[in-house]
Amino acid sequence: MSSGTLYVVGVPIGNLDDITVRALRVLRAVPLIACEDTRRTGKLLELLGVPRPQLWSVHDHNEAQRVAPLLARLEAGDDVALVSDAGTPAISDPGYRVVKAATEAGVPVVPLPGPCAAIVALSAAGLPTDRFRFVGFVPSKAEGRRKALVALAEAEETLVFYESPHRVEAFLAAAAAVFGADRRAVIARELTKRFESFQRGTLAELVADPGVVRGEVVLLVEGAPEVAPPTEADLATVVAGLLAGGLSPSRAAKVAAEQTGARKRDAYALALSLADAEA
């Protein structure tokens, strides 16, 4: 007997009209849907006019235990749809363990594209989209949050975060302190819903006035500005100073490269040249 297929189904993050025709077809056909909250998914199916199949809860606290029975159903030939409460499964939501186990067991895994809050927010934020980094949730405690942001301080791509509404102000204050008050940022909330809004400004402006923050929140912060490479004259000044301080050419090159961002081999060639000129 051939195995069933695991369908990873994106569902609306707010507006029900965002459900796809393909998703509706699969949700109507599968005998089992694995979902975060059976009550919420049951209500969604009712609103979409989809007959309710068997629903199994698969959330953060039980996903590890659900993998084996779900895999057994798939290997027995049943198709299974994996959904989250909203958006795309496994993107800051449960589902990764189930997908991983299915792929390792040779079970077909078929993604059905659908809404994802991070991508929806990014597409309309007005920040660069050619490169971005999805971070998701950072630690809720102050020190953990600060360390997570410090690790991202030099990232040049647009940063995309998820945050709980009651922690938005603390996040913005920490981001302004770490990234700099002048970094542009966007608060996207209630995406695709009736009260959808985008609050745009610098981090300092958003700290002063984050707007009315309720519901689901995506925070976007522009990347760090690109650092221009040092000119040869700048590098020569640094290397010469280090050599004058008694460092060897190799050590001076290493330190100069760390300080300026220049390539070590360029700094070393320059250090040798300057050292020979002094000899």
Q: Is residue 193 pLDDT above 80, yes or no?
A: yes
Q: Which two tokens stand for residue 236?
A: 């020569």
Question: What pLDDT is stored for residue 16 in this prediction?
Answer: 96
pLDDT in tens, 104-129: 999 999 999 999 999 999 999 999 99
Counting every residue written for the chain, the total comes to: 279
In this prediction, residues 179-186 reach a mean pLDDT of 97
Q: Is residue 230 pLDDT above 80, yes or no?
A: no
The candidate with the shortest Cα–Cα distance to 80, out of 22, 1, 3, is 3
In this prediction, residues 15-24 reach a mean pLDDT of 97
Strand pairing class (158-163; 197-202): unpaired
Question: What pLDDT is stored for residue 215 in this prediction?
Answer: 79
Round the average pLDDT of the chain to a whole number and report it: 94
Question: What pLDDT is stored for residue 263 in this prediction?
Answer: 87
Query: What does the DSSP assignment read for the chain?
Result: -----EEEE-B-SS-GGG--HHHHHHHHH-SEEEES-HHHHHHHHHHHTPPP-EEEE--TTTHHHHHHHHHHHHHTT--EEE--SSBSTTSSSS-HHHHHHHHHTT--EEEE----HHHHHHHHH-S--SSEEEEEPPPSSHHHHHHHHHTTTT--SEEEEEE-GGGHHHHHHHHHHHH-TTSEEEEEESTTSTT-EEEEEEHHHHHH------SSEEEEEPPPPPPPPPPHHHHHHHHHHHHHTT--HHHHHHHHHHHH---HHHHHHHHHHHHHHH-
Question: What pLDDT is stored for residue 232 in this prediction?
Answer: 84
Exposed / middle / buried, residue 179 (Cβ in 10 Å: 0-12, 13-18, 19+): buried
**pLDDT band for position 207 (50/70/90)?**
very high
- Is 232 in contact with 250 (CB distance < 8 Å)? no
Question: What pLDDT is stored for residue 279 in this prediction?
Answer: 60
Instruction: Say how far apart CA 245 and CA 228 lie, in whole Å.
Output: 26
Higher per-residue confidence, 277 vs 157 = 157
| Most confident segment among 50-59, 220-229, 231-240 | 50-59
Instruction: Say how far apart CA 136 and CA 40 lie, in whole Å.
Output: 22
**Distances in whole angstroms, Cα of residue 8 to Cα of each of 22, 35, 111:** 12, 11, 5
